[in-house]
Amino acid sequence: MGRRKAEHTIAARRRRTPYVAKLPREDPFKPEDAREVEAACRRVAAASEFMVLAGWREDSGYRVYHFTTWAKARAMQHWIDRSGIAHRPMPKLGLTAEEVAESKREALAWSLRTGAARPILDAYRQARHAGDAELTAFNAACEVAKAMGRPTGEVQVTVRTLLEWARAKRPSSPATGP
């Protein structure tokens, strides 16, 4: 007995929704912008089906919205053009340069203030001298930093900052790593 092909494959949905509206954007949206686009699609499509795909080949660089009728696709294209959604800023991803620098300053200050710098760097150096890979030595230093009381979310930044600081302070020392 053969297996029946699913009704909701992308190819089947594309056949059911042949009319498109294109949004010229590849970057992610802010959550509120994504909700606004989703609401516009639901409003335009009403009770019928719609589908959103990332464009490829000739549609590369677009988000392609598929609708069941030409009028719905045209209404969505009109909303895209009128709302200016394509030119809205993308969400902030990660920390700014100032926040990264502040995090490093705070990590270095903590390690020097508490006396944790030497044990953390010693753990890294001992692991490297024992023949461990850089990642294994880094993990050993992270374990020491965690044992010294550094919060879990800040351990890796602290160890990286200390290693950079040690390499900058003594660049010719073989104990600071490669």
3-state secondary structure of 61: coil
How far is the C-alpha of 55 from the C-alpha of 24, rounded, in Å?
A: 9
Structure tokens at 136: 């294994």
What are 30-44's pLDDT values in tens digits? 999 999 999 999 999
pLDDT value, residue 50: 92
Give the start-to-end residue ranges of the domains of the chain. Answer: 10-87, 97-176
Pairwise pLDDT comparison (17 vs 3), residue with the higher score = 17
User: Residue 6, class by beta-carbon neighbours within 10 Å (0-12 exposed, 13-18 middle, 19+ buried)?
Assistant: exposed
Nearest by Cα to 80 from 90, 88, 91: 88
Inter-residue contact 41 to 68 (CB < 8 Å):
no
User: Residue 174: which pLDDT band, with cuts at 50, 70 and 90?
Assistant: very low
pTM over 0.75: no
pLDDT value, residue 178: 47
How far is the C-alpha of 137 from the C-alpha of 124, rounded, in Å?
A: 5
Percentage of the chain beyond pLDDT 90 is: 65
pLDDT value, residue 85: 92
How far is the C-alpha of 146 from the C-alpha of 154, rounded, in Å?
A: 9
User: What CATH class does 10-87 carry?
Assistant: alpha beta
What are 81-123's pLDDT values in tens digits? 999 999 998 888 888 889 999 999 999 999 999 999 999 999 9
Average pLDDT across the chain, whole number: 88
How far is the C-alpha of 68 from the C-alpha of 20, rounded, in Å?
A: 9
How far is the C-alpha of 173 from the C-alpha of 140, rounded, in Å?
A: 20
